[in-house]
Amino acid sequence: MRLPTRGPTGPAAVNKYLLPNEHPVITVRRHPAVLIGPAILTLAGLLAAGVLTATVLHSIGGLITVVWLAWLALFVRLIWKAVNWAVDFYVVTSHRIMLASGVFTRTVDFTGLTKVTNLSFQRSAPGRLLGYGELRVESAGAHGLERLDHVPYPEQFYLEVCEMLYGISGDQAGSTSAPNPAGD
């Protein structure tokens, strides 16, 4: 299992958006499952183009060209989605949670950790099967990053962010025993 990146390592494309007094704690890409839909659509288009070319449009050259150009558009769309996936990062810093995304137009959306009032975690059946989840961030009177979708290792990500928010480590969270007044 590959763990999310911790510490000052991370892509330079993300580090340039950090304030001088903050450091990245977790840096992850969205789960590759975001590419499943475009990949299936591209493969289905390839299959349809091949079948249409071999059967119905066998003797109509102009329509064959149109069908293959349509498939080429699907393929270019898949490549575009893959490039976008490669440059999108969720980053949790010492002060905020942010999403840096976009190839030509770079967008950085964030929510300050001090503004977070609630953090909820959800995992769908496909997410449990493939290893991703979704986190919803509620913040006090501020609009910002509200939904983190396709987060890899979502339980670990959730626990790390909760530890930063509430200062409780995983070991302390499970301990409910009261101190022994007798000193035993």
Cβ-contact 48, 108 below 8 angstroms: no
pLDDT at 85: 94
Contact 14, 24 (CB under 8 A): yes
Nearest CA-CA partner of 145 in 133, 154, 153, 137: 137
Whether pLDDT at 173 is above 70: no
Query: Residue 159: CA atoms inside 13 Å, Cβ hemisphere, count?
Result: 12
First CA to last CA distance, the chain = 41
157-171: average pLDDT: 79
Q: Which of 15-19, 106-110, 150-154, 167-171 has the highest mean pLDDT?
A: 150-154
| Residues in a beta bridge with 28 | 90
CATH of 7-30+88-170, one of 3.40.50.300, 3.20.20.70, 2.40.160.40, 2.30.29.50: 2.30.29.50
Tell me the per-residue pLDDT of 110-158, one tens digit each, with 9 for 90 and over. 888 888 888 888 999 999 999 999 999 888 776 778 889 999 999 999 9
Q: What is the mean pLDDT of the chain?
A: 83
Quick: pLDDT tens for 72-86: 999 999 999 999 999
DSSP three-state, residue 64? helix
In the prediction, which pLDDT does 171 show? 55
Per mean pLDDT, which of 18-22, 72-76, 178-182 is the most reliable? Answer: 72-76
Parse the chain into domains and list their residue ranges.
Answer: 7-30+88-170, 35-83
Residue 46's pLDDT is: 96
Mean pLDDT of 3-32: 75
Task: Kindly state the tokens that stand for 110.
Answer: 């964030």
